[in-house]
Homo-oligomer: A and B are copies of this chain.
């Protein structure tokens, strides 16, 4: 019987690895970071920002689980990365959201010369304080690799004591679970539209890649793509994503007056409007409270393609948006709503059944797509947790996020109060954070 031939060169090559890198490409990141980066590079290239890692799950003591040396090695490795030639070619030549040359030559040149800036790492009370400071278009690209590194180092820490078969069975169970989710999603019919948004809190790169392949095979046209550029390139599928809270948070932090502050979220989208059309014109309205944002929005925003619901009660907020579109003379049936907050199959099914036919429904499925190992190891040590990496300050001023769920608020307490006043934000309902 044939035994697989050992590839000696690969073995020897592997022996030479100092580390097993978690992030091996600058485009192993979310597509919307590159879109936003281009926008920042154009409109706010000289803003200084601080990004900060925040572990909202305090009971997960990351500094006890993850070796500091290993963490530094992984972060240092990311700093050694630069855009590969094939990656640059793909970004320059590929069609994104139906558009050629999405990325302008001056931005591509910036990206081709980019190395990620330094990081600052300290341990405090069982947690890592990890911050990144510098020019916004450079620092912002740390968010996704930093999160992916911490998540995967934590997975590795938990897995390192498992035997070979325990590992095989662990992944067998996780595969079975995901496939059952995909079969349940298939049961929702041919009109479902769903994308992978799971890069930042994935179990590991290889696992995310497997999940994406499973979605391709299991959902066909219903799977619209992945937020991960590297996987989109390798699997030849759509790269998906629009924009995130960091844009209004930084714009707001830079405001000199209350009126400028009030206008900041719209100013962000006015800049975006200049750059993008079609399915990239998606409002993320919750940074300082969705109802107030929509109530005070200029009419041209009602003409945008859709809205992304990323916190709060998705049913109530969608009904609110539908009413808002109607009040502005828009047809909700032509509008896209992207749900992306802590989704799993049951929530997806309930939202799809409720809104399918009334609006165009789409889902950005994140952590519970790419990191659902709940209950699969003793002590549930692989359960996902709530880790974020946020813009904490801009030009020395703290940023604030209110969100439609007060559990997701960030910023100094006095500033949170001030922002609430300016934006007329009620506190809203609290939702537990799973991820």
Q: How many copies does the complex hold?
A: 2
Interface string of A191-230 (1 = CB under 8 A from B): 0000000000000010000000110011000000000001
Name the B residues within 8 Å of A89 (CB-CB): none
Name the B residues within 8 Å of A176 (CB-CB): 169, 172-173, 176
In angstroms, Cα B218 to Cα A9, docked, is 33
Q: Is A5 a contact of B1 with CB atoms below 8 Å?
A: no
In angstroms, Cα B175 to Cα A173, docked, is 8
In angstroms, Cα B214 to Cα A430, docked, is 46
Q: Is B4 a contact of A165 with CB atoms below 8 Å?
A: no
Q: Is A163 a contact of B5 with CB atoms below 8 Å?
A: no
Q: Is A163 a contact of B217 with CB atoms below 8 Å?
A: yes
Contact of A165 among B10, B171, B172, B217 (CB under 8 A): B217
Q: Which residue of B lies closest to A28 (CB)?
A: B1
Contact of A10 among B4, B172, B179 (CB under 8 A): B4
Q: Is B1 a contact of A25 with CB atoms below 8 Å?
A: yes
Q: Is A414 an interface residue (CB 8 A)?
A: no
Q: Is A7 an interface residue (CB 8 A)?
A: yes
In angstroms, Cα B169 to Cα A171, docked, is 10
Q: Is A79 an interface residue (CB 8 A)?
A: no
Contact of A169 among B1, B163, B179 (CB under 8 A): B179
Q: Which residue of B lies closest to A10 (CB)?
A: B5
In angstroms, Cα B5 to Cα A10, docked, is 7
In angstroms, Cα B7 to Cα A214, docked, is 25
Name the B residues within 8 Å of A2 (CB-CB): 13-14, 24
Q: Is A295 an interface residue (CB 8 A)?
A: no
Q: Is A164 an interface residue (CB 8 A)?
A: yes
Interface residues of A in 140-164 (CB under 8 A from B): 163-164
Q: Is A334 an interface residue (CB 8 A)?
A: no
In angstroms, Cα B9 to Cα A2, docked, is 13
Tally of chain A residues near chain B (CB < 8 A): 31
Interface residues of A in 300-345 (CB under 8 A from B): none
Name the B residues within 8 Å of A14 (CB-CB): 2
Q: Is B1 a contact of A9 with CB atoms below 8 Å?
A: no
In angstroms, Cα B170 to Cα A217, docked, is 14
In angstroms, Cα B21 to Cα A205, docked, is 35
Q: Which residue of B lies closest to A205 (CB)?
A: B1
Contact of A218 among B165, B213, B230 (CB under 8 A): B165
Name the B residues within 8 Å of A214 (CB-CB): 165, 169
Q: Which residue of B lies closest to A216 (CB)?
A: B165
The minimal Cβ–Cβ distance linking A183 to chain B, given in whole angstroms, is 9
Q: Is A80 an interface residue (CB 8 A)?
A: no
Q: Which residue of B lies closest to A164 (CB)?
A: B217
In angstroms, Cα B14 to Cα A165, docked, is 28
Q: Is A57 an interface residue (CB 8 A)?
A: no
The minimal Cβ–Cβ distance linking A57 to chain B, given in whole angstroms, is 28
Interface residues of A in 87-138 (CB under 8 A from B): none
The minimal Cβ–Cβ distance linking A283 to chain B, given in whole angstroms, is 35
Interface string of A20-57 (1 = CB under 8 A from B): 01001100100000000000000000000000000000
Name the B residues within 8 Å of A172 (CB-CB): 171-173, 175-176, 179
Interface string of A347-363 (1 = CB under 8 A from B): 00000000000000000
Besides A165-B217, A165-B218, A172-B175, 16 more A-B contacts (Cβ < 8 Å) are: A1-B21, A1-B25, A2-B24, A4-B7, A4-B10, A5-B7, A5-B9, A7-B7, A165-B179, A166-B217, A169-B214, A171-B172, A172-B172, A172-B173, A172-B179, A173-B176
Would you list 23 pairs from A and B whose C-beta atoms are within 8 A, ordered by A residue? A1-B21, A1-B25, A1-B28, A1-B230, A2-B13, A2-B14, A2-B24, A4-B7, A4-B10, A5-B9, A7-B7, A165-B213, A165-B214, A165-B218, A166-B217, A168-B175, A169-B175, A169-B176, A169-B214, A171-B172, A172-B173, A172-B175, A172-B179
